[in-house]
Amino acid sequence: MWIYDTLNYRIAWANEAGLQLWDSPHLQELSSRDFRLDMSRAVYLTLCQYLEEFRQGERLLKWWTLTPHGQPKRVLCQFSGIVMEDGHMAMLCEAPYQELASPAPARSASQSTMVALFGPQQQLISSNPIFNQTFRYQISQLRDLLEEDAECRFVLNQLQNHPVQINERVLSTSIGKRWHRLEFRYLDNHRSQLLLQAEDIHEQKVQEALAHRDSLTGLLSQPDFFAISTRQIASHAQLTLWRCQNWSAWQQSVGLSRSLRTIKLLADSLQQYLPALSPCTYLGKGDFLAVITPSTYTDRRYDTQLLAQAWIPARDNLGSPLRCPDYQCQQIPLAEHQFDLARAFDLLHQN
C-alpha cells in the first residue's frame, strides 16, 4: 500500500509491503524519487483523470506495470482518492496481487493498461512503454491504431455527444490480432487532447466465444448471435443473409452426412472471409446470417455481390462428388429499421 502524490510526482507514504514492492530500503529513500523523469505525458494525464474520478467517489481496479529501478513488475492495483494535509487530492494505491515473476515482454504488453495521448489532428503526442511495445512503435496517428478513417470519425462523432466513448475491437499487435477494450475521452474543452486507455481482453473474448458456439458449425448460437449483435450494432451496420437455394433437393442429392460436412466447410469459409468483428450464425436449412460491423462497411469486399463469393474457398475444397449449393446473398441496412435486429431479420427473411 502506498500514497502517490500525482501533482508532485512523488510517493508520499508507503507501508512495509509497499516499500518492498518498490525495492526501497526506507520511506525517506522512496519519497525522494522523482517520478517525473520516467513518466510520459499520457500516463500523467491518465493519473490526473483518475483524480477527477476519485472526487466523484470512484474506485478503480487496474493491472499496472511498475518499474522500480527499471525492473518491470505487473501488479493488480486498486486506486482510490485520499486528501492530503493541504487539501489536494492524491491517490491511495493498494496492490492485493503481484505476479511472482516478471512478465515476458509480449505478455506484459498485452495484459497491462496502455495509455496514449493524441493531439488536435489525432497525432500521437505521448504514450507509455506498454503501448509502444504492444504496437511495435508504429503508431503515429489514431488512424494507425484503428486502421480505418471511418473508425476514427465514428469515435470522434460519438465524443461530440458523450464524455466517454468505450468500445471493444480487434487491433493488430506485436503478437497478432487481439481484442481490446478502448476508452476515449477529451481532456479539455477545446478538444485538443484525446486520451486513450486500452486493455487487452482477448482471452476473455475467446472464452466467451467458446461458450456460445454451435456444435456443428463453430459459429455463434442463434440466441447469442442476436444478443451479441444487438450490443455491437453501429449506424452503418448491415444485416446479411446467405440463403441456400433449393436446400431440400440439394441435401437429397448428396445425403445427410455429406450435407453436414458441406455446411461445416461453408461455415469455416465464412469465418475466414468475414472480419473478426462480424457476428455470424447458422440458421439451419443451409442459411447463414451475419452483421457486417463498422470496421468493414467502407471496404468494397463486403458489398452484396462480392459477399456472395464467400463460398469459393469451401467450394474449391469440397471436390467431387460433393458440390456447393447455390446461394443468394441479401443485405439490409439496420439504420433504416431503427436498429431493431429482429424486425430487420423478419423483413429480410420474407423477401
Residue among 22, 107, 6, 12 at smallest CA distance from 54: 6
Provide, for the chain, the percentages of residues in helix, strand and coil under a 3-state DSSP scheme, each rounded to the nearest 5.
Answer: 40, 30, 30
CA distances from 13 to 1, 10, 32, 322 (A): 9, 9, 11, 72
Return the pLDDT at 239.
Answer: 80
What are the E-state strand segments in 149-231?
164-173, 176-186, 194-200
Q: What is the pTM of this model?
A: 0.52
User: How much is the average pLDDT of 314-340?
Assistant: 65
Here the cell at position 73 is 513488475
Q: What tens digit of pLDDT does each residue of 306-324 get?
A: 555 665 655 565 554 456 6
Considering 68-77, 190-199, 212-221, 239-248, the range whose residues carry the highest mean pLDDT is 190-199
Q: What tens digit of pLDDT does each residue of 172-210 get?
A: 898 888 889 999 999 877 788 999 999 998 888 777 666
Gap between the Cα atoms of 324 and 327, Å rounded: 9
Q: Which domains does the chain have, with CATH numbers?
A: 2-103 (3.30.450.20), 106-201 (3.30.450.20), 212-350 (3.30.70.270)
Band the pLDDT of 10: cuts 50, 70, 90. Answer: very high
The two beta strands, 2-5 and 89-98, are antiparallel
